């Protein structure tokens, strides 16, 4: 990638300023307060925007670089990527979104929109976020050595590169997050109150409740049998009762006949007695047997009638049979009442059982839902295990292929910058950047001289930049070599020219040291004098 030209309409103290950059090394010269750092910040702002939040500062970048007068707070940059395509970006810093042009056509909509950042076109093009770009490609005034936070961040990025092949992805942290997520979303046999523990506890409780409620299903079956038996018994008793009613009615009719016969019998007896008396009276009066024979004949006929009526009535047996029928009907009524009472009891019990069966249905439905959740959790568990297995395999592959390559790159840069004094550098998650000294021991770079530390951290930045970017992006150095002696400065210039020739270099300086070294080494450069 190359920055070809910038046009500052208004940014900080700079107004209506146009600067053209060339390939290779660009030397931007100017005294203090000449705007070197402002131009560097302008380049960053054109690529990533200007922050309106303070981010721990006393004033936000937006407020710091906003012109005091009515000058337009805007600018334009022309740049080209390694594929040769040329782009232009225009920013009105008061607005969130820039306008990106290709072949004089607005292509802003071709990039993804971020609600908080606007259009992160540059990150999409080169694959580097603003923090990584500022920690690698932009090296501010006396900031070769990273701050503690930045150091940890960059060491972590190197560790990420070594372990995962991506500066944003830490194998260790990824595995920790997977385990934590797995533990939180699923749980294990050793955990309590996690989803798998809760659902298994629910299933155990529901199974116990289901087994208890199952007995009510048996009660329903028994109740159905009892209800059928009672209905059958009631029908049979009703039929018996109906027969007895009919018999009772017959006996009642017979009883009426008996009563009539008894009345007739009494009349016949009275008549017989009357005729006997009459026969006696007539025989006495008329003293003639023949005269009294007629009443006697009537008596005989009457006695005959009495005998016949007596035979028909048989009232004693009738009474006995009638009482028997009434007794049987009373027993039947008692049995019917008992059966009806049992039926009502069954109905009451049935209401309770039905309620329990509804509860059983709810329990079975809840149990099915809990078993489905458990099945999903177990499926998710398998997914996590597969993910961790794949991560382990990817880690092993990257450690085998990428890590040696990356460490060789870091050692190569360090060797060149230190003129062969230090050739072996490694990165440790816990101890940070380590360097092998003359006696073979590994020491943290903080224990070396300030100049060597600057070289190490500059090598660290350039190493990361070479790995994380899709493009060989410009390297912006603002008074970076303040602690470099002349020998170290020569080594750096040679390295930037010979080893990193694919990167455009823009050096901001207030001295002529860099220019003198470049002339001495006969390295071509493009001078931009801000004081002219």
Continuous segment of H or E residues that includes residue 52: none
Q: How far apart are CA 463 and CA 158, in angstroms?
A: 9
Inside any domain, residue 385: no
Residue 107: what are its φ and ψ, rounded to 5°? -115, 20
Distance of CA 66 to the CA centre of its chain: 45
Last residue of a domain, one of 348, 376, 404: 376
Q: What's residue 160's pLDDT? A: 62
pLDDT string in tens for the chain (532-residue length): 999 999 999 999 899 999 999 999 999 999 888 888 899 999 999 999 998 888 778 898 899 999 988 789 999 999 999 999 999 999 999 988 999 999 999 999 999 887 767 889 999 998 888 888 887 888 865 555 555 555 455 455 555 655 555 556 677 778 888 899 999 999 888 888 898 999 999 899 888 888 877 776 666 666 666 667 767 777 777 777 777 777 667 666 666 666 666 666 566 666 666 666 666 676 677 665 555 565 566 656 656 665 665 555 554 455 556 677 667 777 877 877 877 777 777 666 666 666 766 777 888 888 899 999 999 999 999 999 999 898 888 777 766 766 677 677 778 877 877 778 888 887 665 666 788 888 888 888 777 776 677 776 677 677 777 777 878 899 999 888 877 888 888 888 888 877 555 789 999 998 999 999 999 999 999 999 988 7
Please give the C-alpha separations between residue 522 and each of 201, 264, 497, 515, 517, in angstroms, as whole numbers: 79, 167, 11, 10, 8
Q: How far apart are CA 413 and CA 423, in angstroms?
A: 9
Residue 95: what are its φ and ψ, rounded to 5°? -110, 155
Contacts of 394 (CB under 8 A, 6+ apart): 164
Domain containing residue 260: CATH number: 1.10.287
Inside any domain, residue 420: no
Q: What's residue 350's pLDDT? A: 65
Inside any domain, residue 24: yes
Q: What's residue 292's pLDDT? A: 52
Residues 205 and 354 in one domain: yes
Residues 206 and 78 in one domain: no
Q: How far apart are CA 321 and CA 211, in angstroms?
A: 57
Helix (H/G/I), strand (E/B), else coil: 390: helix
Residues 312 and 372 in one domain: yes
Task: Calculate the dihedral angle through the C-alpha atoms of 335, 337, 342, 343, rounding to the nearest 10 degrees.
Answer: 120
Other beta carbons less than 10 A from residue 49's beta carbon: 22
Inside any domain, residue 115: yes
The range of the structural domain enclosing residue 517 comes to 2-145+471-529
Asked whether the CA dihedral 336, 341, 342, 347 is positive or negative, the reply is positive
- In b/e form, how buried is each residue of 12-32, taking b as 16+ CB within 10 angstroms? bebeebebebbebbbbbbbee
Q: What's residue 308's pLDDT? A: 62
The two structure tokens encoding residue 451 = 């100049």
Please give the C-alpha separations between residue 524 and each of 1, 75, 131, 515, 517, in angstroms, as whole numbers: 19, 29, 31, 10, 11
Q: How far apart are CA 128 and CA 474, in angstroms?
A: 13
Inside any domain, residue 229: yes
Q: What's residue 86's pLDDT? A: 95
Residues 24 and 114 in one domain: yes
Residues 130 and 231 in one domain: no
With 0-12 / 13-18 / 19 or more C-beta atoms within 10 angstroms meaning exposed / middle / buried, residue 75 is buried
Residues 212 and 307 in one domain: yes
Residues 35 and 141 in one domain: yes
Asked whether the CA dihedral 212, 217, 223, 225 is positive or negative, the reply is negative
Inside any domain, residue 387: no
Residues 219 and 122 in one domain: no
Residues 27 and 124 in one domain: yes
Question: In DSSP terms, which residues pair with 442 in a beta bridge?
Answer: 436
Q: Which residue has the tokens 């809760």?
A: 198
C-alpha angle with apex 464: 462 to 469, nearest 5 degrees?
100
Q: How far apart are CA 138 and CA 228, in angstroms?
A: 94
Residues 14 and 119 in one domain: yes
> Where on the phi/psi map is residue 191: left (φ > 0), alpha (ψ -120 to 50), or beta?
beta
Contacts of 431 (CB under 8 A, 6+ apart): 444
Q: What 8-state DSSP symbol labels residue 118?
A: B
Domain containing residue 96: CATH number: 3.40.50.300
Contacts of 407 (CB under 8 A, 6+ apart): 162, 425, 426, 427
C-alpha angle with apex 394: 393 to 395, nearest 5 degrees?
90
Last residue of a domain, one of 361, 376, 391: 376
Q: How far apart are CA 39 and CA 6, in angstroms?
A: 9
- For the whole model, what pTM was predicted? 0.57
Q: Which residue has the tokens 């087994």?
A: 211
Inside any domain, residue 366: yes
Residues 90 and 201 in one domain: no
Inside any domain, residue 422: no
The total domain count for the chain is 2
Last residue of a domain, one of 376, 401, 425: 376
Q: What DSSP letter does each residue of 75-109 carry, written as one string?
A: EEEEEE-TTS-EEEEEEETTSS--EEEETTEE-GG
Q: What's residue 40's pLDDT? A: 93
Please give the C-alpha separations between residue 327 and each of 230, 315, 322, 334, 506, in angstroms, as whole numbers: 22, 18, 9, 11, 126
Q: How far apart are CA 80 and CA 235, in angstroms?
A: 103
Asked whether the CA dihedral 465, 523, 487, 28 is positive or negative, the reply is negative
Residues 324 and 215 in one domain: yes
HSE-CB of 11 using CA atoms within 13 angstroms: 28
């Amino acid at each position: 990638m190359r920055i070809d030209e910038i046009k500052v309409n208004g940014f900080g103290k700079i107004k209506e300023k146009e600067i053209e950059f060339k390939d290779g090394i660009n030397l931007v010269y100017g005294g203090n307060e000449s705007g070197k750092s402002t131009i560097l910040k302008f380049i960053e702002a054109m690529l990533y925007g200007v922050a309106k939040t303070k981010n721990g500062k006393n004033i936000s970048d937006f407020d710091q670089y906003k012109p005091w007068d009515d000058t337009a707070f805007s600018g334009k940059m022309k740049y080209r990527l390694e594929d040769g395509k040329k782009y232009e970006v225009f920013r009105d810093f008061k607005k969130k979104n820039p306008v990106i042009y290709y072949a004089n056509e607005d292509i802003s909509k071709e990039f993804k929109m971020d609600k908080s950042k606007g259009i992160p076109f540059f990150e999409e093009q080169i694959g580097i976020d603003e923090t990584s770009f500022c920690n690698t490609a932009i090296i501010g005034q006396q900031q070769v050595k990273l701050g503690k936070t930045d150091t940890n961040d960059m060491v972590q990025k190197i560790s990420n590169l070594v372990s995962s092949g991506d500066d944003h992805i830490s194998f260790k942290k990824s595995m920790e997050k997977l385990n934590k997520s797995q533990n939180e979303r699923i749980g294990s046999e050793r955990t309590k109150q996690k989803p798998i523990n809760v659902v298994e506890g629910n299933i155990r409780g529901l199974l116990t409740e289901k087994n208890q409620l199952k007995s009510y299903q048996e009660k329903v079956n028994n109740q159905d049998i009892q209800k059928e038996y009672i209905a059958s018994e009631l029908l049979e008793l009703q039929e018996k009762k109906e027969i007895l009613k009919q018999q009772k009615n017959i006996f009642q009719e017979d009883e009426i006949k008996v009563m009539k016969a008894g009345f007739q019998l009494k009349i016949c007896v009275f008549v017989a007695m009357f005729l006997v008396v009459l026969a006696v009276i007539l025989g006495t009066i008329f003293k003639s047997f023949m005269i009294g024979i007629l009443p006697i004949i009537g008596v005989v006929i009457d006695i005959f009638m009495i005998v016949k009526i007596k035979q028909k009535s048989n009232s004693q047996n009738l009474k006995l049979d009638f009482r028997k029928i009434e007794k049987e009907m009373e027993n039947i009524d008692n049995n019917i009442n008992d059966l009806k009472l049992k039926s009502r009891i069954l109905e009451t019990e049935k209401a309770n059982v039905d309620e329990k069966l509804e509860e059983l249905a709810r329990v079975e439905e809840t149990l099915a839902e809990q078993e489905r959740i458990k099945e999903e959790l177990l499926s998710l568990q398998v997914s996590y295990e597969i993910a961790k297995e794949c991560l382990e395999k990817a880690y092993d592959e990257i450690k085998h292929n990428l890590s040696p390559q990356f460490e060789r790159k870091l050692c190569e840069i360090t060797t060149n910058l230190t003129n062969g004094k230090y050739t072996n550098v490694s990165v440790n998650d816990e101890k940070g950047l380590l360097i092998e000294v003359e006696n073979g021991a590994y020491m943290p770079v903080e224990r070396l001289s300030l100049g060597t530390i600057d070289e190490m951290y500059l090598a660290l930045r350039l190493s990361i930049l070479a790995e994380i970017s899709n493009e060989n992006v410009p390297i912006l150095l603002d008074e970076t070599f303040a602690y470099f002696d002349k020998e170290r400065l020569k080594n750096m210039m040679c390295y930037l020219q010979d080893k990193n020739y694919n990167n455009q270099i823009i050096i901001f300086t207030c001295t002529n040291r860099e220019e003198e070294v470049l002339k001495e080494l006969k390295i071509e450069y493009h001078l931009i004098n801000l004081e002219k």
